[in-house]
Amino acid sequence: MHTLKVSLGSRTYPIYIGKDLLTQSGLITQHLPQKRAAVVTDSNVAPLYLEKLTATLTASGITVTPIIIPAGEQHKDWQSLNSIFDALLTARCERKTALIALGGGVVGDLTGFAAATYLRGVPFIQVPTTLLALVDSSVGGKTAVNHPQGKNMIGAFYQPQAVIADTATLGTLPERELGAGLAEIIKYGLIRDLPFFEWLESNIDALNSRDPAAMAFAIQRSCENKAAVVAADEREETGERALLNLGHTFGHAIEAGMGYGAWLHGEAVAAGMVVAARTSQRLGLLRADDVGRITAILERARQPVTIPDLGTHRYLELMGHDKKVEGGKLRFILMKEMGRAFLTADVSREVVEGALQDSLHHA
């Protein structure tokens, strides 16, 4: 087992990465302030891991309240959130009752927001079961619920007590979700870690075949990168944390424009990173063969590298709801070179429209 620390002063917490951690009861129970907990999961993950986790906790004398929400990004809404609150209140969960999120990014984000706001805040533990959640949403304390007018528009910064990253859960992950997770892993290379990007170019086949050693390294390196960024800018105030949103401004527009759940989040981010790369290319920051390397590795991870034709007007409208908008001006995460992302508001509408056009078809 590898333990990694996210350094946030009094909110510092550990990420445990390893195989079969779900069955190690002490790992979780040391973070529970009372002998009961609520486990929130979804209809896909419940049949796979709910019983296992419950057995581990029950064996340590913990009383478990299970809460199951419907699976899918389209259910990251008020209705699911309220069903969590209803269940917590009906079971009379208290301020010291921890919420454990068992699942992917939707379960983690919703459960985290519920933990941040139930009785004005209760303890929270992340048990990610998808590659995307392992390397992204379970690290950093962003919690949220979607609004019909935009993804993650309502939420809170709320740090977990611990993240239990059991790599054994990747064994049951559908191929499509594996690929979407690889997109977020590739993202870290593009933002701030060119050596990691190069390692990924050499090892993408091993990751596609779920080679345990390659997977463990990719997860650890991704979490280290994210933890470093979050420690430097927990609440996205200096702009550094915003870099983690490479591909997200365009990606969120795809997700909202196509209807939540049609594209996986990682898939939308993959296509969004291609638009960001083409925007960078139009600004003379990336060369054509840089863009070629980016599309090539994403394609090897079976990710989309073109965007759906929603019309540039609709794209700009959807992006106008981005949380990074300031003074009415869109701000973009672009690449100033391979492995170095930056935040800028200085991009003309023509350049963005051109990059969107470029990204409609395979170059």
The structure tokens 């050693």 sit at 213
Residue 75: active-site member: no
Distance CA 172, CA 325 (A): 39
Interface with its own copies by CB under 8 A: which range of 154-162, 183-191, 200-208, 246-254? 154-162
Distance CA 34, CA 26 (A): 14
Residue placing its CB nearer to its own copies in the complex, 151 or 282: 151
Helix, strand, or coil (residue 38):
strand
Between the alpha carbon of residue 249 and those of residues 83, 102, 105, 129, the distances in Å are 29, 27, 18, 25
Residue placing its CB nearer to its own copies in the complex, 94 or 289: 94
Residue placing its CB nearer to its own copies in the complex, 67 or 291: 67
CB of 139 to its own copies, least distance (A): 16
Among 89, 232, 345, 360, binds its own copies (CB under 8 A): 89
CB of 159 to its own copies, least distance (A): 13
Residue 142: active-site member: yes
Distance CA 274, CA 244 (A): 15
Residue 177: active-site member: no
Interface with its own copies by CB under 8 A: which range of 17-25, 37-45, 109-117, 219-227? 109-117
Distance CA 179, CA 265 (A): 11
Helix, strand, or coil (residue 185):
helix
The verdict on 155 binding its own copies (CB under 8 A) reads yes
Residue 248: active-site member: yes
Question: Tokens standing for 232?
Answer: 């430097």
Helix, strand, or coil (residue 204):
helix
The residue annotated as part of the active site, out of 192, 234, 245, 255, is 245
Distance CA 200, CA 293 (A): 11
Interface with its own copies by CB under 8 A: which range of 19-27, 77-85, 126-134, 306-314? 77-85
CB atoms within 10 A of CB 248: 24
Residue 252: active-site member: yes
Interface with its own copies by CB under 8 A: which range of 5-13, 52-60, 87-95, 296-304? 87-95
194-208 and 175-192 helices, crossing angle to 10° = 170
Helix, strand, or coil (residue 334):
strand
Residues 198-257 that bind its own copies (CB under 8 A): 235-236
Among 11, 147, 293, 302, binds its own copies (CB under 8 A): 147
The residue annotated as part of the active site, out of 146, 152, 177, 184, is 184
CB atoms within 10 A of CB 208: 16
Distance CA 130, CA 134 (A): 6
Which residues make up the interface to its own copies (CB under 8 A)?
Answer: 34, 78, 82, 85-86, 89-90, 92, 94-96, 113, 116-121, 142, 144, 147, 149-150, 153-157, 235-236, 320-321, 323, 325-328
The set of catalytic residues is 120, 142, 184, 226, 236, 241, 245, 248, 252, 265
